[in-house]
Structure 1
Amino acid sequence: MPVHTDNIYAAFERMARSCPSHSAVIYLGSRFSYSEVRVAAERLAGALIALGVRPGEKVVIYLPNSVHWIVSWLGILRAGGVCVPVSPIYLPHDLAHIVDNSGASMIVCADTNFGYVQRVMSESLVENVVVARMADMLPGYKRTFGWFFNMIPRGRVAWDGKTYHFRKLLHNGITSQLPELPIDPLKTAEMLYTGGTTQSSKGVPISHRHFLVSAREQIRTSRPLIPSRENIVLCHSPLFHILGQTCGLAILLVGGTLLIQPSVNLDATFDAIARFKVRALIAVPSFYRMMLEHERLDQYNLTSVDYWFSAGDVLPLELNRRWESRFGKIIHQGYGCTETCGGVAMCPVDRPFPANSVGHVVSSKKVKIVDPIFLDPVKAGEPGELLVHSENMPTAYVDNAKQTREAFIDLDGLTWYRTSDVMRMDNHGNLFFVDRTTDTINHDGHQVSASEIEAVLQEHPAVVATCVVGVEDKTVGERIKACVVLKSDIKGITGYELIKWCRKRLLPHKVPQYIEFRDMLPKSKLGKLLRREVREEERQRAEA
């Protein structure tokens, strides 16, 4: 059945009425039918409208992967609002930036994050907060068991006139007075924030049509292996991330089942695959490596999975060979960006392709491979920077003119997104990742800004200069290393002290794993840091 291409909620509602008793979501061992999820989303939509949410109003989703996340996403869309999903591990300053940049007036958060939300509210336009406890939608016996044995994290919440309980809103929400669903395929459905290349994350507006077209292409890829309604997808990517969106949430638009877990636990993952007969797994390469190296892997039956999919980082050829040797099936790759709403290239499942290819360009996208300086097309088969265009793609970041000018360019009468990734394409249309042109570090599936870490280190009173690079690592892609020059009169500073400094100011995945003290750093005649030379030194060390 084709995906409705005009409105995300309309596409979901169509499935919910077509197969109401079919499982839509599996969360912590409990199944939620399409009908149950639809009713909960519409009740939340009614409650949000009663609280003042109007069409086009931005609402932040500050929750971990959960059925609450999905109901919030659908409920906001049903109310005509714009979803602003953010990482549940964001610190107050990250959250404040996104709230300010997006103009959000409401936050849906977990009780464990409420303290951070409180700190942001006093300096923002946020008027109301909806607080969810992670067991709110579970059966009563599970909630009681979890609380009695202290298995469910709980945070303190100050219930006042601006703070509302998620569960009570679901109970009291009125669906009979919901307005007609506004259908405008070009309207913004959500704003996804990507924080890989700069100190401040950038808001990417995603329209209903853009999301639905990308979702349809993702679903089509695995359909030769698994009929959509029979598919049970275990999504290990966060739902606020484009990978979790187009590979996970998309299955709800075609009648499949989405299995989600609030945190990473390999034994829980293995058990869920075996118990619920998962057909597809979505994860980053480092997760697949962790699976292979888990000491209890052989104790579980994972043979139900037909489609192993990896994105978010380059899949090492050695890892895929080990995987095929162990399971008799390969991991399929894909390549995409937040700005392109996910898939730019996908590996086919019904025909052979080169083992290190990220696939063929999907039908909704056009690509150019160009010289990164002069933007002239390179010869066939030669590497160059990948540019991407699609009819539905955004052409600007939210309220960020400077980075919009750097990332989006006009060529041949079309607007193209500069991926900053060096790629090449063979004569058969297979796309290959070569390198990246930006100073980002790909650590465990996260795009980490080197300049952000450098800025934090240089705030330390003992540091005069620093250069942060990625060091190749088989487990997490790249580990973060900081080369540091101390002030000449400083003695006794240790690497541990600088790492501790970073831990207080950066998200966990951005904290350096290595600190190297140097007398000087390589610079150009104009005084610009030559990061490529430091990166080359690390490459030579690794080879040696």
Structure 2
Amino acid sequence: MDRPHYKFWPQRLPHSITVPATSLWHNLAVNAARYPRKPALVFFGSEISYAEFAAQAERLAGTLHALGVQRGDRVILDMQNCPQLVIAHFAILRANAVVVPVNPMNRAEELKHYITDPDAKFAITTGDLAPELAKASNALDPKDRLAHMIVTQFTDTFDPEVTGDEAPAPAWRDWLLTQHPLPALEGGAVMRWTEALAAGHPPPEHVVGADDMALLPYTSGTTGLPKGCIHHHSSLMHNACAGQIWGLGSAEVVVLAVVPMFHITGVVSMMHTTVLIGGTLVIMPRWDRDVAGRLISRRKVTSWTNIPTMVIDLMASPNFASYDLSSLSYIGGGGAAMPQAVAQRLFEQFGLKYQEGYGLTETAAPSHANPFENPKQQCLGIPYMSTDARVVDPDTLVEMPVGESGEIIMRGPGVFEGYWKRPDATAAAFIEFEGQRFFRSGDMGRMDEDGYFFITDRLKRMINASGFKVWPAEVELLMFRHPAIQEACVIGTKDAYRGESVKAVVVLRPTHKDTTEQEIIDWCRENMAVYKIPRAVQFVDALPKSGSGKVMWRLLQEAESGSR
């Protein structure tokens, strides 16, 4: 295959890399020995050194082992960004187990699936989220419930009296400072984080390696419930190592960790890459533009992975001129295109070229990235190290000529093994192309004459709301539980700030014709993550259907797109 992007490949970079044949835990253990006193995790002014980070993870791994966690067991990790998330993530790996990262915005109805599908019996969460997770577990059949839950309070890792540039946003204080009571876990036991660290149980022998499963993140699709993506230590290790080399990473890197670390980008491109190189994670639990501006200035942040709406919001702050962004050497992200005018302003004011990239849960985050030396705007970039990507006709699977749109397929060491318990979905997700196993992304794109990739459309039915992927089929399944809803079809609607928002087209049951739009929205707020909630509900007498009875969602989507 001709690889035109190689003429733009940075001379400093190899085309492919050799990856350590060790587990991800090894990266932390090595840097705890190399940089014992160096800050690893910073949270509202409180610092945790690499030595203490590793020690806490060892102690927590010992408790998990004592509670019965065995090699390969799946452990739910349900938290907003905080030091405990990072410590727990590595503790689970240290205990030879598998991290199941869960979006903390999920509600009990959604959380049930994340307990039953991976057969999880153990969970680690924060006090504010524990009641919802317990509610989900308690509603299950006794054989499917969680057996143990470890619960931390945010103040376990920072001083609630902190003031100044590194203090939380005032609106966060009640959320962060409240000491939540432990929930009742039917048929199980709940333990405080502080007790788990103080229990004194030795960790088990660390026996997992590159070919063991490390992570089971969930991704939704066009139909049904979310599917678990099997990632071994090796796929995450490859992309962490590639991230270090691609970005000239060193132990002096300081990362603003605001992208959620339940998301594959946060897990791999931010958390694991930073720990691999011995850098510092300056952690934000949520987005706030002025907290971000102060932290970048105060902590001399060098690297900021984000979604474009964060940059737009920060630059719109009335305090923006007072923030010092001069320490930044890398700023970039994905999930949505960066508006050209904003990218241009970043370059003119700070000399920063916004680095867009592309990847999926199935590809351990980046499969494509823009080279620092030659980035293109509103572009996915070029295939990442050790990665081969093509554009093919989605029906014939014949490679498309340069400039013509088709489905993006890729192969490489970052690609997942397959879907958990879903051999049918795994088989459908891969094709043989030129004698090799390629993953079908479901995204439509084109490659230009320089070998750079661009998104043109998508095959998958998906809504992109501020970088969060909303899968209509999943929202519809939840909405059908509302007693007033007979049928529902979820589509995307344009949103000037979020890019897209969720809209539900609903047929009411004859017995509930007086149900209002707000009542539907309020119910959704109680039963699903906030980014999935329909911002608008349209009532209709009937949904358009094909001859086979399938809802013709494309007609509704096209009508919505054409009306704006």
Both proteins in one fold, TM over 0.5? yes
The code of the aligned residue for 1:82 comes to V
Residues 228, 420 of structure 2: 8 Å contact kept: yes
Q: Residue 483 of structure 1: CA displacement?
A: 2.9
**1:513 corresponds to:** 535
Partner of 1:307: 330
Separation in structure 1 between the aligned mates of residue 508 and residue 146 of structure 2, nearest angstrom:
42
Q: Are residue 439 (structure 1) and residue 461 (structure 2) matched?
A: yes
Which residue does 2:155 correspond to in 1?
135
Q: Offset at 1:280?
A: 1.0
1:537 corresponds to: 559
The equivalent of 1:78 in structure 2 is: 94
Aligned-partner SS, 2:235: helix
> Alpha-carbon deviation of 1:139?
5.2
Q: How does 1:45-194 map to 2 (within 5 A)?
A: 45-122=61-138, 123=140, 124-138=144-158, 152-158=177-183, 162-174=189-201, 177-194=202-219
Q: Which residue of 2 aligns with 1:219?
A: 244
Residues 121-130 or 85-94, more deviating: 121-130
TM-superposed deviation, 1:536: 2.6
Q: Give the corresponding residue for 2:255.
A: 233
CA contact (8 A) 1:443 1:479 kept: yes
Which of 445, 450, 454 pairs up with 1:423?
445
Gaps of at least 5 residues in structure 1 are: none
Q: Equivalent residue for 1:394?
A: 416
Other-structure match for 1:284 = 307
* Equivalent residues of 2:46, 2:157 under 8 A apart: no
Aligned pair in 2 of structure 1 residues 118, 505: CA closer, same or farther (>3 Å)?
A: closer
Deviations 1:109-151 (A, max 9, x none): 11222222333444324222111111113359669x99xx855
Partner of 1:377: helix, strand, or coil?
Answer: coil
Give TM-score scaled by structure 2 length: 0.88
Distance 2:151 2:482 in 1: 36
| 1:462 to 1:45, Cα distance in 2 relative to 1, 3 A | closer
Q: Which amino acid aligns with 2:300?
A: K
Question: In the aligned structure 2, how far is the partner of 1:109 from the partner of 1:453?
Answer: 24
Structure 2: tracts of 5 or more residues without a match: 1-16
The equivalences for 1:360-509 within 5 A come to 360-391=382-413, 393-460=415-482, 462-486=484-508, 491-509=513-531
- Alpha-carbon offset, residue 519 of structure 1: 4.9
CA contact (8 A) 2:445 2:453 kept: yes
Instruction: Deviation per CA, 1:293-320: give whole Å up to 9, x if none.
Output: 2232223222221211111223333432
Alignment partner for residue 261 of structure 1, among 284, 298, 320? 284
Asked if 1:242 corresponds to 2:258, the answer is no
Q: Which moved more, 1:359-368 or 1:131-140?
A: 131-140
CA contact (8 A) 1:7 1:184 kept: yes
- CA shift in 2, pair 1:457/1:81, >3 Å: closer
- Residue pairs, 1:27-42, within 5 angstroms: 27-42=43-58
Tell me, in whole angstroms, the C-alpha distance in 2 between the residues paired with 1:445 and 1:196: 16
RMSD: 2.7
Equivalent in the alignment of 1:296: 319
The amino acid that maps onto 1:135 is T
SS of residue in 2 equivalent to 1:427: coil
Relative distance call for 1:498 and 1:51 in structure 2 (3 A) is closer
Residue 235 of structure 1 and its aligned partner are, at CA, apart by: 2.0
Relative distance call for 1:36 and 1:491 in structure 2 (3 A) is closer
Q: Deviations over 1:20-43 (max 9, x none)?
A: 111111112111111110111111
Amino acid at match of 1:130: I
Instruction: Rate the CA distance shift 1:100–1:531 in 2: closer, same or farther, 3 A.
Output: same
Q: Equivalent residue of 2:128, what SS?
A: helix
Q: Tell me the CA shift for residue 490 of structure 1.
A: 6.6
Instruction: In structure 2, give the amino acid aligned to 1:115.
Output: P
Q: Which piece of structure 1 moves more, 115-124 or 446-455?
A: 115-124
Provide the identity percentage.
29
SS at match of 1:386: strand
Residue 217 of structure 2 aligns to a residue in which SS?
strand
Q: State the SS of the aligned residue for 1:357.
A: coil
| Cα shift readout 1:480-538 (whole Å, capped 9, x = no counterpart) | 12233456787544322322232233221111112234455444444433333333333
**Structure 1: distance between partners of 2:470 and 2:92:** 30
1:209 matches 2:229 = no
Distance 1:463 1:102, change over 3 A: closer
Q: Which protein has greater RCO, CA pairs closer than 8 Å, 6+ apart?
A: 2
| Secondary structure of residue in 2 paired with 1:99 | helix
How many residue pairs match? The answer is 533
Tell me the amino acid that sits aligned with residue 99 of structure 2. Answer: C
1:384 is displaced (CA, Å) by: 0.5
- Look up the match of 2:10: none
Alignment check: 8 A CA contact 1:395 1:415 kept: no
8 Å contact kept, 1:3–1:253:
no
CA distance in 2, matches of 1:128, 1:520: 46
Distance 1:78 1:460, change over 3 A: closer
Pair 1:127–1:489, CA change in 2 (3 A): closer
SS in structure 1 at match of 2:91: helix
Give the letter aligned to residue 494 of structure 1: T
Q: Counterpart amino acid of 1:532? A: R
